[in-house]
């Protein structure tokens, strides 16, 4: 089977964890760069990566790469690529673009040139003057960086954070991919308590439960490449069947969530039910300071309200004061908080053991990690 070069794109700061995910899926890594991890696979790997990657945004197929300092060069080298081997005569192909530090700085012109070259390539094979583009979707992207043109085809379609279980969203939800990364960057495991006292629509807890039960995050959604005719028959069907067989339906976990906002808790319950993990999560309508914090060596992961998500002038002093009291009470717990409040350690009067810069959408945040003592028999933080 043909060896492909694929790219898992990712939010800045999550490259290492996406690399680890790919390695766990037995993919061969080529390189890790800002915002992407390049790896090798075959046709089945397209389905496998899309179904199983929890923290990546998209899976792109790297179709060609070459130097281009003129539009003629961009056209000729794009035309020479084997587009007609993969795009059918009714294929819907959109061309997106970006340009950084390149002579071909006009994105719209570069997109038009690439689109024209693909059309000419397809005309030669299919011998038709017009393409109705009513079939499967092939989104092509031309990325120009330092005069090097990289042409990719998007195998995912919608961004991978759109799992399909969020039937009832709330204001300012955290992306599923970031929520999964927060869990993976913690020391939580299915045998430990997990609690989120600002759970909103439940995304962090749902992602954790799916990890605990080994539920592939892409099982409830569609993908662009699922409709590509050139992929061998049965690839997607077999990969999906294998993913269902891998689920540990009987895995029980102690996962707890609460929120002051009643509609948010209702949304969380509906979303967890849709994701198939409602029986693993206990939801509570409660102010975070009155939530039930029981047990030892638990994991506290949360995305509390913070400046960029609030009305102007809203004061969070009381919230941080109460959070400080809870942190001191949960002496054996490890705590993980994502926020754009750079002075969180000052408010909590506690020094984080580790801090990571992550982006919640366009908001620059810090993921503060406060490690608790190790459980006596488990040897983990």
Cα 278–161–240 angle (5° rounding)?
Answer: 70
What token pair was written down for 276? 């198939």
**Residue 132 binned pLDDT confidence (cut-offs 50, 70, 90):** confident
Q: Tell me the sheet residues that pair with 367.
A: 338, 356
pTM for the predicted model, two decimal places: 0.93
Spatial contact of 39 and 72, defined as CB atoms under 8 Å apart: no
pLDDT of residue 172: 64
Domains of the chain in start order, with CATH, are 4-154 (3.30.2130.30), 176-214+224-370 (3.40.50.150)
Tens digits of per-residue pLDDT, 83-119? Answer: 999 999 999 989 999 999 999 999 999 999 999 999 9
What is the Rg, in whole angstroms, of the alpha carbon atoms belonging to the chain?
23
pLDDT of residue 131: 86
Tens digits of per-residue pLDDT, 283-321? Answer: 999 999 999 999 999 999 999 987 655 544 457 888 999
- Reported residue count of the chain is 381
């Amino acid at each position: 089977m043909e060896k492909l070069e694929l790219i898992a794109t990712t939010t800045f700061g999550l490259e290492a964890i996406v690399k680890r995910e790919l390695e766990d899926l037995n993919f061969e890594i080529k390189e890790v760069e800002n915002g992407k991890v390049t790896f090798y696979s075959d046709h089945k790997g397209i389905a496998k990566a899309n179904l199983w990657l929890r923290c990546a945004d998209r899976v792109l197929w790297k179709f060609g790469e070459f130097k281009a300092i003129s539009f003629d060069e961009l056209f000729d080298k794009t035309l020479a690529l084997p587009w007609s081997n993969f795009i059918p005569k009714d294929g819907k192909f959109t061309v997106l673009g970006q340009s950084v530090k390149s002579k071909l700085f006009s994105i719209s012109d570069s997109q038009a040139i690439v689109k024209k070259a693909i059309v000419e390539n397809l005309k030669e094979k299919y011998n038709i003057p017009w393409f109705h583009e009513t079939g499967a979707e092939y989104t092509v992207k031309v990325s120009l960086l330092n005069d090097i043109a990289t042409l990719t085809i998007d195998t995912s379609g919608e961004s991978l954070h759109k799992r399909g279980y969020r039937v009832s969203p709330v204001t300012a939800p955290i992306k599923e991919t970031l929520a999964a990364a927060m869990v993976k960057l913690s020391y939580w495991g299915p045998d430990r308590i997990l609690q989120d006292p600002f759970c909103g629509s439940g995304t962090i807890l749902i992602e954790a439960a799916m990890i605990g039960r080994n539920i592939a995050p892409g099982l409830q959604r569609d993908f662009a490449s699922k409709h590509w005719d050139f992929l061998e028959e049965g690839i997607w069907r077999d990969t999906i069947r294998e993913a269902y067989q891998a689920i540990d339906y009987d895995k029980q976990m102690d996962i707890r969530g609460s929120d002051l906002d009643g509609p948010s808790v209702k949304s969380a319950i509906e979303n967890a039910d849709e994701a198939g993990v409602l029986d693993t999560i206990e939801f509570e309508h409660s102010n975070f300071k009155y939530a039930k914090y029981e047990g030892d060596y638990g994991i506290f992961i949360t995305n509390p309200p913070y400046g960029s998500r609030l009305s102007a002038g809203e004061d969070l002093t009381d919230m941080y004061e109460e959070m400080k009291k809870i942190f001191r009470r949960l002496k054996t717990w490890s705590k993980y908080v994502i926020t754009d409040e750079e002075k969180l350690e000052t408010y909590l009067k506690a020094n984080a053991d580790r801090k990571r810069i992550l982006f919640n959408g366009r908001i620059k945040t810090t993921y503060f990690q406060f490690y608790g003592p190790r459980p006596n028999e488990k040897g983990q933080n």
